[in-house]
Amino acid sequence: MRFLLGVLVGYSLRGKQKLLIRFLVTLALVVYVVIPALALLGLSLDVQRERRSRPAQTKVPVLKGLTYEDAEKKLNAANLNIRLLATRHDSRLQPGLIIDQVPAPGEEVIVGYPVGVTISRKDFAGPGP
């Protein structure tokens, strides 16, 4: 770059070799402006294509404390599916309510992703005699 700039300044100060000066200026513009601009344009198009190829995502709603049916409706509205992972005894909660969910509320997942829930149950078979 310094050499090219030196040649341009030298020839322009002397006022000679105008054809060479035009050629070198054109070459400098192509190498330092046009080619990088084309490369950045290509990169921008690749990034846009990559973003469009990703599946759509949505946020997981809060399900804790809801019944299975209410959670199912809420997930259907968010374009997600529900999946029962387990039932667990929890004496603090009314039976049939969701006590845990995976993935956590607020996480972004692919549309149609199954959200696993754990539901409280009434019957508890404690340790035997």
Of 54, 50, 56, 82, give the one whose Cα is nearest residue 67.
82
Question: How far is 61 from 54, CA to CA, in rounded Å?
Answer: 21
What residue spans in the chain does CATH classification 3.30.10.20 cover? Answer: 57-121
Rounded percentage of the chain residues whose pLDDT exceeds 70 = 83
Around 122, how many Cα atoms within 13 Å sit in the side-chain half-sphere?
3
Instruction: Provide the CATH topology of domain 57-121.
Output: Trypsin Inhibitor V; Chain A (3.30.10)
Cβ neighbourhood burial of 52 (10 Å; 0-12, 13-18, 19+)? exposed
The answer to pTM > 0.85 is: no
Calculate the alpha carbon distances from 45 to 12, 49, 51 in Å.
Answer: 40, 6, 10
H helix runs in the chain, sequence order: 2-14, 18-29, 35-53, 68-77
For residue 50, the one-letter residue type is E
Rounded percentage of the chain residues whose pLDDT exceeds 90 = 53
For residue 9, the one-letter residue type is V
> Looking at the predicted structure, is the pLDDT value of residue 92 above 80?
no
Highest mean pLDDT among 1-5, 11-15, 25-29: 25-29
pLDDT at 128: 46
